[in-house]
Amino acid sequence: MNTVDVRRLTAWLDTTLQAPRFRDYAPNGLQVEGKPEIRHIITGVTASEALLRAAIERGADAVLVHHGWFWRNEDPRVLGPRRRRLALTLAHDLNLIGYHLPLDAHPTLGNNAQLARVLGLQPLRDVEGAPLTCGRDGLIWLGEAPEAATLGQFAEQISQRLQRQALWVGDAQAPVGRVAWCTGGAQSMMQEAVEAGATVYITGEASEPNAHLARETGVGFIAAGHHATERYGVQALGEAVAAEFGIKVEFIDIDNPI
């Protein structure tokens, strides 16, 4: 079975995802150093204790996730669940690798790109063929939903394809025009989508102001699940790693209702 040096792997990931260009909430790349050679990677959305244990059971050398550790403004002490996660990682010589915003934004492997694929969205593109975006770091994508006629139908279609009941606010009979989307916890960015001319905004989570903004602007709001909207980018990234280096990569979905 092929192996890859962890430094070579993370250098390729950094370059592929253009990690240095993002001012992120957490460090991107190698977060905990383990074995120097990697032959088997487990991918998942979040570096939870459950995912770590699943990786250990399968004899993996590394865990590659979207939600890693060491978030800004977090309590830095190594206590409770953090201690257990770190102890497991160190005891089994696991490499922990995480990419947050870079994995949201990537034009083909990213969460927004992959959510568009799953939902049948057609991204709008500029003259060079790049996705048309708005918001900080271009994290909100803009496009169309050719298979959906009304907001109500669109919300139901999203629920079916993600296998998770979406929360939505708006006129069920309103036509779906320009769609904006940003996976995960991007509910606070809805105003930027409104200003970009969206008639529907899709994200993962909802906050109290979203309902009022949707009602007062007429822009439909759909919260389809943080985890549910971010399952696909890390899978696509894992497939790209397997193709590039010829190593074993498995995705494990640790379900999360949020």
Binding-site annotation, residues for a divalent metal cation: 66-67, 104, 226, 230
Q: What angle do CA 100, 76, 187 make, to 5 degrees?
A: 40
Whole-number Å distance between alpha carbons of 256 and 229: 11
Beta strands 140-144 and 178-181 are antiparallel
As given in the structure block, the two tokens for residue 65 are 């996730």
3-state helix, strand, coil in the chain (%, to 5): 40, 20, 40
CA distance 235 to 8: 20
Cβ neighbour number for residue 84 with a 10 Å cutoff: 14
End-to-end Cα separation, the chain, in angstroms: 37
Q: Rounded CA gap, 100 and 112, in Å?
A: 12
Dihedral angle of Cα 205, 132, 25, 83, to the nearest 10 degrees: 60
| Binding site residue list | 66-67, 104, 226, 230
CA distance 188 to 207: 8
Q: Are 144 and 121 in contact (CB under 8 A)?
A: yes
Q: Which residue has the tokens 């010829």?
A: 246
